[in-house]
Homo-oligomer: A and B are copies of this chain.
């Protein structure tokens, strides 16, 4: 049975499989990046590990990032922080569709807008009291579907409660950085 394009039988089977064999839930996602020129660089995404096995997609995904000219870049792609906003909106939306399916609520339309405020005096090193990242992020959803307004808003609330990216922005993550000269 499919609701919102989500095969709920697979969804519940996955949950049951992981309940019985927790090591299936251990995933590793990866990306690699190469500097191109100036602030322009390119990331490649493909393989990942999960359910005890390696997965390779049919083709690599490539994403260019850069700074705009006003930030000494050449605008060959969005800024890294815009990709972070994309990650947040996408994570909440994917989760919302799964949650709606699990609850038997058919969706018609889900849109969101996300914005982040940043004071560049942080990354420019001009004021130690200004953080490097976004001071605040706001995301606003509009959901159309079969449920009551309370049910539809409840989908967003549960998506927030179970979002990997929302968690990583609102709670600290251990990030290790290594460097070698080659």
Binding site for B on A (CB under 8 A): 4-7, 10-11, 14-15, 18-19, 22, 25-35, 37-41, 43, 45, 48, 50-51, 55, 57, 61, 63, 65-68, 70-75, 77-98, 107, 109-127, 131-145, 147-149, 152-153, 155-157, 160, 162-182
Q: Is the CB–CB distance between A5 and B37 below 8 Å?
A: yes
Question: Which residues in B have their C-beta under 8 angstroms from that of A132?
Answer: 162-164, 166-168
Query: Measured between alpha carbons, how far is A39 from B95 in the docked complex, in Å?
Result: 7
Copies in the complex: 2
Report 9 cross-chain contacts, Cβ distance below 8 Å, ordered by A residue. A29-B79, A45-B86, A83-B90, A84-B168, A122-B167, A137-B176, A138-B178, A142-B181, A153-B180
Residue among A94, A143, A148, A160 having the largest count of chain B Cβ atoms under 10 Å: A94
What distance in Å separates the Cβ of A137 from its nearest Cβ neighbour in chain B? 5
Question: Which residues in B have their C-beta under 8 angstroms from that of A120?
Answer: 18, 25-27, 50
A115 and B43 in contact, given A6-B38, A182-B143 (Cβ under 8 angstroms): no
Q: Is the CB–CB distance between A174 and B135 below 8 Å?
A: yes
Question: Which residues in B have their C-beta under 8 angstroms from that of A84?
Answer: 83-84, 87, 165, 168
Query: Measured between alpha carbons, how far is A170 from B135 in the docked complex, in Å?
Result: 14
Question: Which residues in B have their C-beta under 8 angstroms from that of A74?
Answer: 5
What distance in Å separates the Cβ of A81 from its nearest Cβ neighbour in chain B? 5
Q: Is the CB–CB distance between B169 and A181 below 8 Å?
A: no
What distance in Å separates the Cβ of A36 from its nearest Cβ neighbour in chain B? 8
Question: Which residues in B have their C-beta under 8 angstroms from that of A135?
Answer: 174
